[in-house]
């Protein structure tokens, strides 16, 4: 393992080394919320497998400048995953489309816009976002590609 640089406002897949852990074990990885707040480094919760003492995890740099992750820095916590506690979804519930459309009607688009836009520009942008909201939804693209 060596130092790694994560560019500003981006994610990077890093190979990390686990201390005192058995190989071929699944681990539940959880990011350190304090480190995220203080240093702008976030790791999503996920399940990963340890191979030869190493695994790969996503690391997000939430800051506006590149961050160096030095070799040996503890960036996440992990514990062995218990298979009896893991569940997976094999089928998407039929109510998801209804739920998505109801939620999208409640989105506050004004929080996503630059403060430099005029009032008229913001109105136009909100109108466009509402009109074409499905264009940015990943499930919509998957359905259209499958057809």
pLDDT tens digit at each of 147 positions of the chain: 689 999 999 999 898 887 777 777 888 888 878 877 888 889 988 888 888 888 899 999 989 999 998 988 888 888 888 766 666 555 655 544 544 444 445 566 666 677 788 888 888 888 887 777 666 555 544 445 454
Q: Which two tokens stand for residue 121?
A: 């520009």
> What residues contact 53, with CB distance under 8 A and at least 6 apart?
17, 18, 21, 23
**118-139 pLDDT, tens digit each:** 888 888 888 887 777 666 555 5
DSSP of the chain: ---EEE-TTEEEEEEEE-SS--SSEEEEEEE-HHHHHHH-EE---EEEEEBTTEEEEEEEE-SSS-EEE-TT---EEEEEPPGGG-----S--TTHHHHHHHHHHT--GGGGS-TTS-HHHHHHHHHHHHHTGGGG-HHHHHHHHH-
**29-44 pLDDT, tens digit each:** 888 788 778 888 899 8
Does the model's pTM come out above 0.75? no
CB 4 within 8 A of CB 16: no
């Amino acid at each position: 393992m060596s130092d790694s640089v994560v560019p500003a406002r981006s994610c990077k897949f890093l190979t990390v080394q686990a201390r005192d852990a058995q190989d071929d074990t699944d681990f539940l990885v959880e990011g350190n919320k304090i480190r995220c707040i203080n240093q702008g480094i976030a790791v999503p919760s996920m399940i990963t497998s340890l191979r030869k003492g190493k695994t790969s995890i996503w690391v997000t740099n939430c800051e506006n400048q590149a961050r160096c992750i030095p070799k040996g820095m503890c960036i996440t916590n992990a514990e062995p995953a218990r298979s009896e506690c893991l569940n997976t979804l094999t089928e998407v519930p039929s109510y998801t489309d209804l739920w998505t459309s109801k939620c999208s009607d409640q989105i506050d688009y004004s929080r996503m816009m630059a403060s430099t836009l005029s009032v008229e520009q913001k109105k136009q942008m909100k109108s466009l976002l509402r009109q074409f909201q499905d264009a940015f939804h990943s499930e919509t693209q998957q359905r259209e590609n499958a057809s």
